């Protein structure tokens, strides 16, 4: 006998009292347009929506379709974003499906303590993403204007010996590259220190290639910060100050958010 086909999709976890007024706020629609509802079990509630019958294609086939998956992932995060504007939500990883409401309730009961502790860690906080880009030509120009900047003197480069000139040029190129790397590392470390002081915690994310971020400059840092709502103005002020003091040296900050704290929650429930 085959297992029952999944009919319920779960997006995240909230406290029961936070999920009770979900219907009273602006309606949130989930995957395939289904209305998102709060399914309570004790002190927790799962944000779920009903999946339509898969008459034309089994759900397993949908999961294997890259274009459909991309669209569904975006829908998953859109729901979480709509909810986090009003309440604390613990995101679930994409793909949490259940056969019925009882299956959701059973999962909540089984993992109640762990889910509650995870929800408590992100309570009252949202995720902000910070990307740092570097225009290395501008940075190199900035470093060369420094009194201790990069480069070798013309007399060294134009030395009588061709071999000596080649060696000096290689030394200069190595020093230039090292100075650029050191400057980028200092910028990343200092930015992380200042931003972390206004956040609960931080997470390093994967550096994106130009094909994804679409910018000419190199992405040198990609981070997520869990920021309490009452600290968000302070956090944003730090970003503004960093941008003001770094643009002349070729660095640019890209801020995105606020999001549900997906980088700080790693729960998987149901069948993925």
> And the tokens for 98?
């259940």
> Rounded CA gap, 18 and 196, in Å?
28
Each residue's pLDDT expressed in tens, for the chain with a length of 272 residues: 455 566 899 999 999 887 666 655 556 777 877 788 999 999 999 999 988 776 445 556 666 778 888 888 888 999 998 888 888 999 998 888 898 999 999 999 999 999 999 999 999 999 999 999 999 999 988 887 764 544 445 545 555 566 666 666 666 767 777 888 999 999 999 999 999 999 999 999 999 999 999 999 999 999 999 999 999 999 999 999 999 998 889 999 999 999 999 999 877 786 65
Q: What fold characterizes domain 127-262? A: Palm domain of DNA polymerase (3.90.1600)
Nearest to 107 by CA among 244, 243, 269: 269
Distance CA 255, CA 205 (A): 14
pTM of this structure: 0.81
Residue keyed to tokens 């729901």: 79
């Amino acid at each position: 006998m085959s297992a029952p086909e999944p009919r319920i999709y779960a997006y995240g976890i909230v406290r029961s009292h936070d999920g009770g007024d979900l219907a009273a706020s602006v309606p949130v629609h989930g995957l395939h347009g289904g209305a998102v509802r709060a399914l309570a079990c004790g002190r927790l509630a799962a944000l779920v929506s009903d999946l339509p019958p898969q008459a034309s294609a089994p759900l397993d086939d949908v999961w294997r379709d890259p274009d459909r998956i991309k669209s569904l992932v975006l829908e998953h995060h859109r729901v979480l974003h709509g909810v986090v504007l009003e309440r604390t939500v613990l995101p679930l990883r994409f793909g949490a499906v259940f056969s019925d409401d009882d299956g959701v309730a059973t999962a909540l009961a089984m993992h109640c303590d762990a889910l509650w502790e995870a929800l408590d860690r992100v309570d009252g906080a949202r995720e902000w993403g910070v990307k740092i880009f570097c225009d290395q030509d501008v940075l190199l120009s900035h470093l060369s204007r420094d009194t201790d900047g990069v480069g070798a003197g013309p007399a060294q480069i134009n030395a009588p010996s061709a071999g000596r000139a080649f060696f000096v040029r290689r030394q200069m190129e190595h020093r230039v590259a090292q100075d650029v790397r050191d400057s980028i590392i200092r910028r990343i470390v200092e930015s992380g220190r200042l931003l972390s002081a206004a956040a609960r915690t931080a997470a390093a994310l994967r550096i994106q290639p130009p094909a994804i971020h679409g910018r000419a400059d190199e992405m040198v840092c990609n981070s997520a910060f869990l920021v309490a709502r009452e600290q968000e103005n302070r956090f944003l002020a730090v970003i503004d100050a960093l941008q003001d003091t770094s643009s002349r040296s070729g660095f640019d900050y890209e801020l995105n958010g606020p999001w549900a704290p997906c980088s700080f929650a790693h729960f998987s429930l149901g069948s993925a």
